[in-house]
């Protein structure tokens, strides 16, 4: 693949290791506080993350200057309270079972409306990308949220390197299909493989991230290793995990959740407190990891990223295109 070389990251933009070590000890303190409160959630899913994966550090990435840094969700919760139906529908299932997934070697198929179709080794793709930390709030359609220091690269850069044709109006992403490694795919919870999509301008938006890690380390399997999407102004289900295919297409792709329940999960899935899910309100959210009895948080339009993304939807009826 003809991908341009990553520009070298300046030394002072690299997060010093000690910063993360410091933040990990804050996390341990908050985890202790959480445990002291007797949270059923943590007790039910308690495990040692090091038993699940190697804990590989990511050494070189540009540091975030996010204003929501002090709201970080503890690492233990980010990696133990998950949605990844390929490993089961329980929140603890991905952490318990995702170790089955072999994430190296990993190839990504690029096809459709591109000048450079092919099957690319993930390592080759990564060598040419500039990794950055982005602290984003992930707001799930189930009305809970977390704040996570993701590490990844701009999807726009990757798309430019694929050389989109003039017919490339949408991007379709597909998760690995392998029921032996992903036993949840033996059940008909969704039509497998999991597919998601974005409009081209959404995919090219500078906030849209292809994530390869979190908390300074390689992506834990349960969070979507080795490569997942993060679109911070949309509900979490758009953030497809363990991606093996990226296809640029002319027409809006059929996506898994939209296909399974069209009236509940729209294609756009922009976080919108004014459009309720048919079975519950979207006006508030439970903050994962917040001390017991903390009031729910008010959900913000576009998950708080309205200033950056509202213009993408100018003139659109967001109740119709939810
Ligand atoms: N991607 C795949 N392949 N399968 C899934 O079940 N769940 C989605 C999304 N990506 C899902 C997926 C949903 S509903 C959410 S809220 C987020 O992943 C959860 O990401 P997290 O577990 O890292 O918090």
Q: Is the CB of 256 under 6 A from ligand 1?
A: no
Residues sharing a CB contact under 8 Å with residue 223, sequence separation 6 or more, in sequence order: 78, 79, 82, 84, 94, 214, 241
Residue whose CA is at the smallest distance from ligand 1 atom 11: 84
Burial of 318 (0-12, 13-18, 19+ CB in 10 A): middle
Number of alpha helices (DSSP H) and beta strands (DSSP E) in the chain: 9, 12
Q: Is residue 188 part of a domain?
A: yes
> Domain of 41: which CATH number?
3.90.420.10
Q: How far apart are CA 103 and CA 227, in angstroms?
A: 9
Please indicate, yes or no, if residue 130 is contained in any of the structural domains: yes
Q: What pLDDT sits at residue 56?
A: 83
Is 245 inside any structural domain? yes
User: Within 13 Å of residue 155, how many CA atoms lie on the same side as its CB?
Assistant: 29
User: Is 300 part of any domain?
Assistant: no
Q: Report the alpha-carbon angle 75-306-68, nearest 5.
A: 30
Q: What is the pLDDT, as a whole number, of residue 59? A: 87
Q: In the chain, which residues have pLDDT < 50?
A: 1-18, 20-54
Atom of ligand 1 nearest to the CA of 223: 23
Domain membership of residue 44 (yes or no) is: yes
- Distance of alpha carbon 137 from alpha carbon 149, whole angstroms: 9
| pLDDT of res. 31 | 42
Task: Kindly state whether residue 217 falls inside one of the protein's structural domains.
Answer: yes
Largest CA distance in the chain: 57
Number of structural domains (the chain) is 1
Q: Hey, what are 232's tokens?
A: 């911070």
From residue 231, alpha-carbon distances to 61, 117, 200 in Å are: 19, 24, 13
Range of the domain at 77: 12-260+285-293
The tens digit of pLDDT for each residue in 135-161 reads: 999 999 999 999 999 999 999 999 999
The answer to whether residue 306 sits within a structural domain is no
Q: Tell me, using a 6 A CB cutoff, whether residue 269 lines ligand 1.
A: no
150 C-alpha to center of ligand 1: Å? 14
Q: Could you tell me if residue 1 is inside a domain? A: no
Q: Is the distance from CB of 248 to CB of 114 less than 8 angstroms?
A: yes
């Amino acid at each position: 693949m003809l991908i341009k070389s990553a520009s070298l990251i300046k030394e002072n933009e690299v997060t010093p290791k000690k910063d993360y070590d410091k933040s990990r000890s804050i996390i341990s303190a908050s985890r202790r506080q959480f445990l002291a409160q007797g949270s059923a959630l943590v007790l039910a899913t308690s495990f040692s993350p090091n038993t699940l994966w190697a804990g590989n550090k990511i050494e070189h990435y540009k540091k975030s200057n996010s204003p929501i840094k002090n709201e970080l969700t503890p690492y233990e919760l980010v990696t133990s309270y998950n949605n990844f139906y390929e490993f089961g529908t329980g929140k603890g299932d991905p952490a318990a079972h995702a170790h089955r997934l072999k994430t190296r070697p990993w190839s990504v198929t690029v096809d459709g409306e591109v000048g450079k179709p092919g099957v690319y080794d993930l390592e080759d793709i990564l060598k040419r990308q500039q990794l950055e930390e982005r602290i984003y709030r992930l707001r799930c359609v189930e009305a809970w949220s977390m704040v996570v220091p993701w590490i990844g690269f701009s999807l726009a850069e990757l798309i430019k390197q694929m050389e989109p044709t003039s017919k490339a109006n949408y991007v379709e992403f597909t998760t690995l299909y392998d029921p032996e490694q992903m036993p949840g795919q033996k059940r008909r919870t969704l039509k497998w493989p999991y597919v998601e999509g974005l409009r081209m301008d959404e995919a090219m938006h500078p906030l849209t991230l292809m994530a390869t890690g979190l908390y300074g380390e390689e992506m834990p399997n349960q969070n979507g290793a080795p490569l997942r999407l993060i679109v911070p102004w949309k509900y979490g289900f758009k953030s497809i995990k363990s991606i093996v295919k990226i296809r640029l297409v002319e027409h809006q792709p059929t996506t898994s959740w939209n296909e399974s329940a069209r009236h509940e999960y729209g294609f756009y899935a922009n976080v919108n407190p004014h459009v309720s899910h048919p079975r519950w309100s979207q006006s508030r959210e439970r903050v994962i990891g917040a001390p017991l009895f903390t009031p729910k948080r008010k959900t913000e339009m576009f998950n708080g990223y309205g200033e950056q993304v509202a213009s993408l939807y100018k003139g659109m009826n967001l109740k119709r295109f939810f």
